[in-house]
Structure 1
Amino acid sequence: MISAMAAAPQPENEAQRLERLLNLGALDTLPQSAFDDITSLASAICGTPIALVSLVDRERQWFKSRIGMEATETDRTMSFCAHAILQPQQPFVVEDARLDDRFHDNPLVTGQPNIRAYAGAPLVTAEGLALGTLCVIDPRVRQFSPSQLQALQTLAKLVVTLLQHEEARQKEEERRTHEAQVEHERLVAMSTSGLDLKAYISPDYVYLHVNETYLAYWGCTLDEVVGHHVRERLGPDLFDGFIQPRLDRALAGQPVFFQHLHPYTAAGPRHMEVALLPVRDAHGAVIGVVLRSHDIQALKEKEAELGETVALLEHRTREQQRFIHIMSHDLREPINSINNFASLLEADHLQDLPPMGQRYLGYVRMGGLRMVSLLDDLLSYVQLDNQTLKSTRVDLQRLALDVLDDLSSARERTQGQVELQALPAVTGDESLLRLALQNLISNGLKFSRPGVPPVLQVSATETGGFVELSVDDNGIGIPVEHQKSIFEIFQRLHSRKEYEGSGLGLSICRRIAELHGGTLTVQLSTSGGCRFTLHLPTVSHAPL
């Protein structure tokens, strides 16, 4: 039987909306813990088993984050969110979908997930384009309170901010890649086009020979140069005060090298790298000077551009850090309020709540604690760039034993074993190295195969001035195609339902390695899990 349900009409700005959604670059991307934390919080606040960040594409709605829903997308014709984006300035609420002519025969209502109540806050950009919704779904007929709808709208604004932040990060990466390609092509062109300017000058400062490039820069003929005094071509000011003293040193047998902004007639002012090389006869007497000038104008311009780029990147980094700090502190206050009131409710009224209420209260507590953990990790990541290394001699053996003590409860919970081999000493910041090692071992315990207790090996080797500190595990492993992206901030290969985490741990570890002048790499271990290796410089190679 064909459903008689009516699909939502398209918004008037559908073309612009779809173009903005495509340019955002968020469709079909990996799960990210920041979005999962928001959907968890929305589910907890509204007391629903399902919460989604839904992006409404041309023919489908795709879920950037999902709690309580297995499907990653559904057809747009069945989408509640396609109706919600038609009123971008207010939440879209359905209390009983069976009584709504738009949805009563919708397959999502008549079948799984048996939608009854729905509330969606549109994700609206600064241009007023509704890209999708942050929505919550309940299989029970119900109402949503004004405070719940207000919270949903606030969280929807945060989703838009995160989407735009990810878009800016992607565009910055694309810009840098494009600039690198343009620069490569420019350098290739420079190395294959044109020759150095060359001239042969006699001891009495007369041109004996010049090449075609020299003539082209000056815009003159061979007859206008050869046989003429250098002073005629350069002018008295440049020759007497600058060039002649250097020619005299070359004529005395000393090679002379310098850089100079040269006022060529045809080419205009150009930065040149100049060499004046003595020419000797068979007896060693200086009989002239070869002038060789290399055009470094492009290099000088690039140096200036790089200086501006560095300043711009430093400014953007400061602004990004400021944004993350503000976002973290502004969010921490309401999250702390949620956690505090949830604790009071749990302490004083837990027994008064029905089992369903107790479970929803647990959702609130878990969502709030996850958000606090995310904010803490985010601040730790940002603060790494402003932290001064406190380099001392660090005994990795003792450090690893301390970390294992800190993770004793995690080892007991997972029944994990950690085999510790003999580890050397390095020079570094002990607190940062402890954090890196703790994250790597904790990940090995966490990302284990179902039903298989984790087994880890911590070892080290010294090669080429570096200590390679490795953590091997027998866990789920990381596919080769994801082994680079896994170090990016907020990148996760698994949903929060499968494995807890903020998506920041490996980013923090890699940044700690970089601060020590090293790197962090990953490869498949012999047991099918992962082998993470911290490459740390030894004492003689440590950064100052």
Structure 2
Amino acid sequence: MAIFPSPPEDDKRLDALRNYNILDSLPESDYDAITQLAAQICQTPIALISLVDAQRQWFKSNHGLQVRETPREVAFCAHNIIDPSSPLIVEDARLDERFVENPLVTGDPHIVFYAGMPLVDSDGFALGSLCVIDDRVRQLDADQLSALKTLARQVVNLLALRKANRILSENQGRMQTEAHEQGKIQVALTRSEARFKSLIEEAPVATCLFVGRTMIIEVANQPMLAFWGKGNDVLGKPLAEAVPELIGQPFLDILDQVYTTGVPYEAKSARADLKVDGTLGTYYFDFTYKPLRNAAGEVYAIMDMAVDVTQQVITRRRVEESEARYRALSQALEIRVQERTQELLTANQDLQRSNENLQQFAYVASHDLQEPLRKIQSFSSLLQVKYGQAVGEEGLDYLSRMSTAGKRMSALIKDLLTYSQITTRQQVFGPISLNKVLGDVLNTLDWEIKNRQARIEIAGLSVVNGDQFQLGQLFQNLLSNALKFTPPEKKPQIELTCSLHNRTELSTDIRPASTATRFCQISVSDQGVGFDIKYLDRIFQVFQRLHGKDEFPGTGVGLAICHQVVENHGGAITATSTPGEGSTFSVYLPV
């Protein structure tokens, strides 16, 4: 047996419903007009007048739905009549345990949204509901709910009139009573007509009613009058006379066709030229022409409902025009990109060949230059040992100078080769532990550190994305400089610190090439001779020295190598110093 919710005294409610003699009756235009208006006001595809029978729900009017009845056990309206004091609102039936497995939710018409206003007669019985349905999540505002409630009362009024008519037809023999009842019906019809006109006037969408073949404007609400740019003086006039600019446009012919055939007409984004505030302009509307029939089944009026979509049409056309221009620009842009890509590929290949040639030349040049230098150093040492007494003190000085010059030349060639490799070699970037890099550098400088009795303090360092060879050259040169520029009579005191900073925290004079948002700052501080800060830009250039060769040895390439390594990594390098008090070199690498 079917299980469904039932209100108290359901037997009496069913008796009351059957007394209206409405079940399984033929469609009627008055009811269809109400569901049409409800769907338009609530902007839903389906609107129903549902009457809940013993085992079914039957639809007196089924706007947007083909079937005329469904079993009561799957009816949303069966739940709606349990508490007739308030509407039943279901925003998403897929999330409601009462309906989640309902075949009307899981299958056609795929109900998601339901809003039903109970149809309560004068005896307090909930006969069914006026409901609107959609297949997507929806919400109704206060005006829409108010309109839905008013329309539900109109349905009950029509049912009451129907019942009254039945009673009158059953008592035709009582002429006096019939006349009296007919008077009551006429009053009720007049009131019903007044209420219907009131519904049109209060509808939130532009609505009007044309009567007769000449389309007399019987009622029009303010939104429709605003569309026409007219006032209430157009009421009672034929549409062609009230809005003469419509002559020559298709609307008058369409209305005549609907009046003749009785077939509704609906249009989307239809153009209309209307004179508003004395100015003729172009507008676009979604509208519906709904024929209304009298008791004899003849069309006597047409209800017009319209929505202004002018702005949406203009926006859509602008978007379409923009897309067309974009498509035209994007065949041209793609061709240019392909050409530029090929140019860059060719240039990159040329640059790669140039770098390879330069690396090969640097290697060959350094090898060919180192060989005679080694011989010069060897022969000068040999001459000093074997013939030192023969050449005298002046000759030994010349030989010593020659040997020293050879050593300087050899060191310069090695530094230039390193600089060339850093500038041109293919970089292999990956996660690099700076602690590991510093460990290798300290091993390399172990003899010099012990010889100078240097003390080096290193804080915990980070992991960065970089090239291990280049980072090794960077920190080897920075530590070597810190050792070298500490006077011989002092024991070098060197400190390495590490900290992380957001890009916004960096000083304005720090301008790394990388777009990274965080940077690792590694600072190398010493207590050496320092330098005048006005020479800051000069010290990172090749062959630039601030001290004499006899005072501090070097080639003037080390800091240029540091600058190139940092630049290759998208970072930045700077320094602070005070003469006689030491220097601090700060490197910023992207994390």
State the TM-score bracket (shorter-chain normalisation).
0.3 to 0.5
TM-score, normalised by the number of residues in structure 2: 0.37
TM-score, normalised by the number of residues in structure 1: 0.40
**Larger relative contact order (CA 8 Å, sep ≥ 6):** 1
